[in-house]
A and B are shown apart, each in its own frame.
Chain A
């Protein structure tokens, strides 16, 4: 799982012995008490790591736990089990002071550009907040905010304006600027482009790619759209109901998916070429994956078994372990 077979030329860096981020056996449960303990976990023993400068994509349907994993890494969600290690330090349950120390290296870009900036603060004051918190002077912080705005393609005088004076795409650029203003090493992008129109989405994706190449950033890129992930990520982790179904190099997972769920996910993503899309549709229908509306499977076994065309009795009793198939790791007894 740590091998990166396909890397963009300029994103390739000397392989570091220590991963930037390492998530081990992560478990997150919502709620408290006996009832919550009996319910399936929102995130169920998830493992993955991100090397410095690497982009890992986290894909899955809504409710697959992908955003929850991002929140757990950022300290916004309590973790029920497992560990999250950042540069060798355990940050699973970091307190406010450790978070503050971490806050300049580990940052986030969220989905909704309308709510990720405080509408009552000027853009400059939102950008300066993380710097001021770390003791940067007001004039210096303003200078850096202006520089960063210029870098993301906005005018310098945007510092004195309010978020409502910008379009959705521009606001998302401001969010990116805010995430990158204190030179982080890892940015968690939680559906960072899914609220944007095509052309704006492309602008922000390009910006994220440029900044990564410029600064050697690592990204955890969380998205439901596998094509978007494929553009940016070197490795992809596919989640279903809180469990990893498949993970591996982006090209392998998206072009040659092994797990029945990944196959369904890839086949369902429509392409804007009518003839090819018709073929894909037929391929998807021939997969025989059942609709997701079926009842929630009981805990234990494979979470996908009720929809899976390959499922047998074994799938109901034994949770498939991740095993290497081709270039990827796949959690399926029959892949």
Chain B
């Protein structure tokens, strides 16, 4: 296994069959090896990424009963039906609602946490590790525990509300309340993760910027908003995109938040049914309509792309003109 930095074949001093062969071999090595090294990713991506994507699209053009042997081609019918399906749009609104309620406080909290962790604290590493702990717990376990905490009659949250004299909240059958409960779950899990990423970016900001700002008379708050936040912009965009993809694909938390018959509906009136849950409900129990479920999957894909694009545009606008961007793209 030779590692060559230049692309030229090694100089072959003498002629002769064996030498020529090994020369060709080494040229082949130079040409092909890089592709071989990156091949595992692309092979896996093709098998587990591209193929399912294309196949799902193919399925979505058929009337595909999961158990059936006949799958007649129906063209775009699944899509036209889906676009007129109120339950689908209801699920879209739920998903976006949960996404906004969870992501905005999450990133703000992460920013604040990162800022705290960036100061001279005692046992700094300990604190930094601690904020990541929720992230290493199993989502299923978290969802089940939160599901119990937010129970209607035996839940701890309603018990606490009762202690301070407030009325019990119908966490599972009130639309906004269930969004809040699920967002709490998501935030509990992901705030620390985002805080660490933002912290890493904060530490890359040169200290002299702060020093000169201090000389100019900027206080800590001013420094934070005028130096830290603009320079964190690429990282914030990264966090937002990751949160968008995760938020719009939210499944485990809302699914396990509900228990009993047909939890996939996300409540009796589909209060917290997300798009992925709606996809599952159609593709699997109780409808087993794989074609329709696949159409939901593709529209979800489109939705994520749109929301991610909007996110990036909005964030680019936010942090000021092109100068600020140049500074950020250090």
* B is bound to A: no
